[in-house]
């Protein structure tokens, strides 16, 4: 583990004034953002590059982080990273209990600390991360916080005050694959594994920016991606999604995409008292009665209670707090889920939903013949 020699002190300060002494690794800089937690045992390189964590300082509750380093930034033939969920580190900082300074893995390219240093991202270790997670839970799952080095104070920063999708989405249309199904992918800060899951299913992907007017595009199915921030700020995309609903082309929303589809359908969203930020959230399908373990990272929830039994119904429900985890149209090919069926590094229990989406496209094509 981290050698006792040459430890550099750092501090975590939360918005309520609580201060934690720790030691820093990664870049020797201070940082500020929204402090959240993640319960995954593995997959820290994927989480750190997940655009849904944009502007957040992530607390990893698993007690050992960094033990297998980080893999290389290699790319597949479609110019998609083989191992990461985006092409850059998205978090503003890391909080961990114990840091392993002697990592080893057959696919390791460099240590976690060196990687963070290279991208000017700080981390703290020597923290009671489970205590921090419990404290965050009592404060709605997140608090503003800052990582400070000695004598380097900075102000608090609330990333939710910014349009985060504008920071993590692409700037122009991009095309991937050469499959038989034309998928329009609305990018609010998507995870790369959404691309991988669609490419495995014989799709051509037309990836467009979050604010792109796609009303004149031709496609077989629409995917609305995950992304950071408050769904209510995306008024223009919600308008375009309403236009897509009128065309009755299959739609699949993921995470933020679930909330945006729900708002476009007439639903509402609100902030969760206890946000879902873990790799082990249990959900149940109200279609089949089957339960699944899912990966989630969101602070807002969709409420469609006032439009139930009209056109929409709840697709999945959270088994911890009974909140809505997805919606599905009663007659038309539209559905969405709050969790990540493309979760990388897992769980992959619900990846079958991509097959469900492709089946809707096939049925739609047959009806149109």
Residues annotated as catalytic are 255, 340, 342
3-state SS class at 15: coil
* Among 193, 179, 185, 165, CA closest to 80: 193
Q: What's the CA gap between 292 and 315, in Å, rounded?
A: 13
Contact 60, 94 (CB under 8 A): yes
Contact 80, 195 (CB under 8 A): yes
> How many whole angstroms from its chain centre is CA 286?
24
Tokens of 188: 């609010």
Q: What's the CA gap between 207 and 230, in Å, rounded?
A: 22
H or E segment at 194?
helix 192-199
Residues 6+ apart with CB under 8 A from 77: none
């Amino acid at each position: 583990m981290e050698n006792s020699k040459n430890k550099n002190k750092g501090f975590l300060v939360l918005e309520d004034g609580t201060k934690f002494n720790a030691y820093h690794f990664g870049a020797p800089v201070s940082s500020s953002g929204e402090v959240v937690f993640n319960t995954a045992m593995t997959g820290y390189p994927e989480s750190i590059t997940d655009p849904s964590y944009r502007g957040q300082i992530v607390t990893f509750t698993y007690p050992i982080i960094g033990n297998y380093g980080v893999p290389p930034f290699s790319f597949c033939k479609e110019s998609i990273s083989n191992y990461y969920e985006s092409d850059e580190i998205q978090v503003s900082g890391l909080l961990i209990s114990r840091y392993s300074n002697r990592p080893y893995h057959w696919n390791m390219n460099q240590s976690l600390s060196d990687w963070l240093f290279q991208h000017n991202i700080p981390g703290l270790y020597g923290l009671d991360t489970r205590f921090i997670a419990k404290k965050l839970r009592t404060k709605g799952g997140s608090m503003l916080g800052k990582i400070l080095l000695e004598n380097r104070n900075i102000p608090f920063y609330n990333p939710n005050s910014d349009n985060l999708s504008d920071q993590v989405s692409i700037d122009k249309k991009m095309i991937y694959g050469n499959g038989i199904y034309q998928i329009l992918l609305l990018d609010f800060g998507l995870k790369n594994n959404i691309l991988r899951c669609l490419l495995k299913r014989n799709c051509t992907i037309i990836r467009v920016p979050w604010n792109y007017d796609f009303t004149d595009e031709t496609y077989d199915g629409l995917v609305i991606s995950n992304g950071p921030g408050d769904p209510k700020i995306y008024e223009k995309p919600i308008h375009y999604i309403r236009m897509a609903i009128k065309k009755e082309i299959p739609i699949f929303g993921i995470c933020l995409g679930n909330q945006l589809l729900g708002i476009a359908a007439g639903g509402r969203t609100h902030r969760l008292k206890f946000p879902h930020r873990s790799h082990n959230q249990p959900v149940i399908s109200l279609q089949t009665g089957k339960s699944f373990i899912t990966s989630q990272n969101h602070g807002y929830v969709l409420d469609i209670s006032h439009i139930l039994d009209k056109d929409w119904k709840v697709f999945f429900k959270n088994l911890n707090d009974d909140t809505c985890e997805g919606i599905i149209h009663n007659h038309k090919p539209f559905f969405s889920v709050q969790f990540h069926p493309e979760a990388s590094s897992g769980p992959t229990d619900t990846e079958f939903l991509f097959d469900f989406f492709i089946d809707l496209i096939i049925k739609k094509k047959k009806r149109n013949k």
